[in-house]
Structure 1
Amino acid sequence: MNTITANQLKTRGVSIIQDNLLKDQELVITVRGKEKFVVMDMKHYNYLRECELDAALHQAKADYQSENYITETVDAHIKRIKQ
């Protein structure tokens, strides 16, 4: 994963992001020597979101099959999650 500094971003602007994303899918921006931000193109971001949603669906199906869920009224649910 490529890394640039906030100072490089400040002086070169978006072009440094574009140049680095041609080499790698993600770019880390450091501030005062510490990793602070990750930049990626929308195609890669959407792919990661799909993976996240697939994992959540898989977990929900596994919970359903193992009967790891609660059936309750809306009021009971609201009360439970507020605790």
Structure 2
Amino acid sequence: MATITANELKTKGITAVDTALAEEPTVQITVRGSAKYVVMRCEHYNKLREQELDLAIRESRAEFERGDYVIESVEEHMRRVLE
């Protein structure tokens, strides 16, 4: 992952980010030597979100196939969740 300092971002602006993203899919921005932010193109972010949602669907289907679910009314559900 490419790294840009906060000072470099301040002086070079978005050009520093664009240059780093031309080489790597993500860029880490450091503040006072510590990693603080990660920047990526929207296309990369959307791909990650899609993968995350696909995983959630697979996990839900596996739970359903195992019978790991509860059938209950809204009132019962709220009682169970809030307790």
Name the counterpart of 1:44. 44
Partners of 2:26 and 2:3 lie apart in 1 by 9
2:38 aligned counterpart, secondary structure: strand
TM-score using structure 1 length: 0.96
Query: What amino acid does structure 2 have at the position aligned with 1:56?
Result: A
The 5-angstrom pairing of residues 1-83 of structure 1 reads 1-83=1-83
Q: Which consecutive unaligned segments of at least 5 residues does structure 2 have? A: none
| Whole-angstrom CA distance in 1 between matches of 2:5 and 2:77 | 46
Instruction: Name the amino acid aligned to 1:66.
Output: R
TM-score (structure 2 length as normaliser) = 0.96
Alignment RMSD: 0.7
- Report the identity percentage: 43
